[in-house]
Structure 1
């Protein structure tokens, strides 16, 4: 499943990232923040007003916000 479909608060592991759909500079930034295969992740909050954008995620002790388009490029396996 993609990160966008993961229930809030449920832990998961990133199994794949389709870097081809993410702009090169954004991909570099996401990798620097720790987004990569094998990383444990969870969704903490979602945007409101029907768009569900952005999505706040926790990677270890770090929390970052992602666009939904980026979350759709991240495959996860729920724990």
Structure 2
């Protein structure tokens, strides 16, 4: 399942990050790494961006970035 498909209020664990080196690195620099738990706080009305809680802080992630994060 991809991060952009998860329901609001769910807690998921990052399984894999897809993309090329620089793109993947940018996502990892935001604190989204393999094995970390993400809580889906809310989604904007048109689905972009997705607001998540990761490592104790709130983060807004664009829909394109959320599609590259595989979760379980």
What's the TM-score once normalised by structure 1's chain length?
0.80
Q: Structure 1: give runs of 5+ residues left out of the alignment.
A: none
Measured in 2, the distance between the counterparts of 1:60 and 1:37 equals 12
Contact 2:27 2:65 in 1 (8 A): no
Measured in 2, the distance between the counterparts of 1:27 and 1:75 equals 12
Match of 2:62 among 67, 73, 77: 67
Measured in 1, the distance between the counterparts of 2:54 and 2:16 equals 15
Q: Structure 2: give runs of 5+ residues left out of the alignment.
A: none
Number of matched residues? 72
Aligned-CA RMSD value: 1.6
Moved beyond 2 Å, runs of 4+: 26-30
1:45 aligns with 2:42: yes
From the CA coordinates, give the structure whose radius of gyration is larger.
1
Contact 2:31 2:55 in 1 (8 A): no
Contact 2:50 2:61 in 1 (8 A): yes
